[in-house]
Amino acid sequence: MVKEIERYGIPIVHMATITTISESVGANRIVPCVMIPSPVGNPNLAPEDEHKVRRELCERAVHALTVAVDKPTQFE
Amino acid sequence: MTKRVLMYLNQFFGGIGGEDMASIEPSFKEEVIGPGVGIAAAIKDNAEIVGTIIMGDNYFGENEEEAKQFILDTINEVKPDVFCTGPAFNAGRYGFSCAGACQVAHEAGIPCVSGMYCENPGLEYCQSIAWVAETANAAAKMRKAIPAIANLVNKVCTGEEILPEVDGYFPKGVRKCIHVDRIGADRAIDMLLARLNDQPFTTELPMAEFDEVEPAPPIKDLSKATIAIVSSSGVVPAGNPDRLQSASAQQWNKYDVTGMDDLPAGDYYTVHGGYDPMYVNEMPTRAVPLDIMRELEHEGIIGHVYDTYYITTGTGTAVANAKKFGEEIGKELSELGCIDGVILTST
């Protein structure tokens, strides 16, 4: 789905845990996430700490949309 | 001499549990378990299964280094002649885990066998290093997968020749030199003439099709940008009003979040059948981060979160469908004219 949306010229970032799959199917901007059943969250942390992690992931994701890339790139 | 086979299964086929056990640490049992029972019976003239590694689907994806070390340590202890994984059918995490496990065994010099459906994300890598039998897309067809895998194990043990057209496996991409009656120039001319005359012909070398998408240009001013949220996590309003499928999605849906800063638990939940829903049901924004994106909007880091989010279910969804959904959502976002970027979350 990521690739098809990008074909319209809209920058898109894939937030996912198994990033090797993202790369192999050709997503160009990738943000590695926490865990499969909770990509933008970490239920093992206290709420305040979890919020920090979630915030950081989303900031990284929107930042990735502002970076020029020429191939699948992970933003860690 | 009876060869030794080491089996590799996930937590479900290993009989430990379902999604709730997907993060369980790996274990090794000197037992024949699950699909191993059928395979052991079919290979008994040539080999025996000496034990089974059970690896949680999530554990492998989230702890790849530790998982691979466990596999390597077990291989070194058990000293198998063949490493047999799956069948994984179309299960993405399982296929990926089988591929990674085969990589460890392959690098240790052990021939590997597996079974997957043609769209399994783990296949592309696995088929280059293992004999991967082609299976159906669901475990309902286990009874056909077992003999296909056992056949490959048997032939690996006896050293018999294995060919894709005979043994039903995905070609490994290995080229072998053989003698044929006619020289290449003759065969090539025949093929060219057939092509020019619109007659059927069979290529001797299928060309790989690369489908790369040019990266879209970056957003110049994030503080003025409208960002849309798309997700394959299956998060929908309570009651699943549009009946989004739990697997093998036939549709995508969109939901208005105008004026909303959150997707409250209870009002939203996930219907996705491919991961433990507990954490996302506790906090749906762990999959569709509307709350954080709204924070970024209120603080001026981004201009605006688009007031609609797009959702489908990623598990068991045919690649052709996923492609179609991406095209349709992309078309809609493009035609809106105001979407500057997208975040797409997957589970």
Q: Is residue A76 part of a domain?
A: no
Helix axes A47-64 and B290-298, enclosed angle (nearest 10): 70
- Summarised one tens digit per residue, pLDDT across range B214-272 is 899 999 999 999 999 999 999 999 999 999 999 888 999 999 999 999 999 999 999 99
How many structural domains comprise chain A?
A: 1
Q: What would the pLDDT profile of A50-61 be if each residue is shown by its tens digit?
A: 999 999 999 999
CB interface of B with A, residues 44-63, below 8 Å: 57-58, 61-62
Q: In CATH, which of 3.60.150.10, 3.40.50.2000, 3.30.470.20, 3.90.1300.10 is domain B3-167?
A: 3.40.50.2000
Which residue in the set A10, A20, A61 is minimally distant from B216, CB to CB? Answer: A10
ipTM > 0.90, yes or no = yes
Contact yes or no for B215 and A71 at CB 8 A: yes
A21 domain-assigned:
yes
Contact (CB<8Å) B347/A67:
no
Contact A13 B344 (CB under 8 A): yes
In chain A, which residues have their Cβ closer than 8 Å to the Cβ of B276?
A: 37
Q: Nearest C-alpha of chain A: how many angstroms from B227?
A: 8
Which segments in chain A show pLDDT lower than 50? none
Residue of A6, A8, A57, A69 to mutate for B, most B C-beta atoms under 10 A: A8
In a domain, A73, yes or no: no
In a domain, A18, yes or no: yes
Per residue in B311-347, pLDDT tens? 999 887 777 788 899 999 999 999 999 999 999 999 8
Instruction: Give the model confidence (pLDDT) of B95-147 as tens digits.
Output: 999 999 999 999 999 999 999 999 999 998 999 999 999 999 999 999 999 99
CA nearest B233 in A: which residue? A37
Q: How far is CA B129 from CA B87, B117, B163, in A?
A: 16, 16, 15
Q: Among B253, B313, B323, B344, which would you mutate to test the A interface (most chain A Cβ atoms within 10 Å of its Cβ)?
A: B344
Residue ranges of chain B assigned to CATH 3.40.50.2000 = 3-167
- Chain A residue numbers with beta carbons less than 8 Å from the beta carbon of B92 are 18, 21
Residue A16 belongs to domain spanning: 2-66
Specify if A72 maps to a domain.
Answer: no
Instruction: Closest CB to B276: pick one of A6, A37, A67.
Output: A37
Residue B196 binned pLDDT confidence (cut-offs 50, 70, 90) = very high
Residue A32 covered by a domain: yes
What is the pLDDT of chain B when averaged over all its residues?
A: 94
Q: Is residue A38 part of a domain?
A: yes
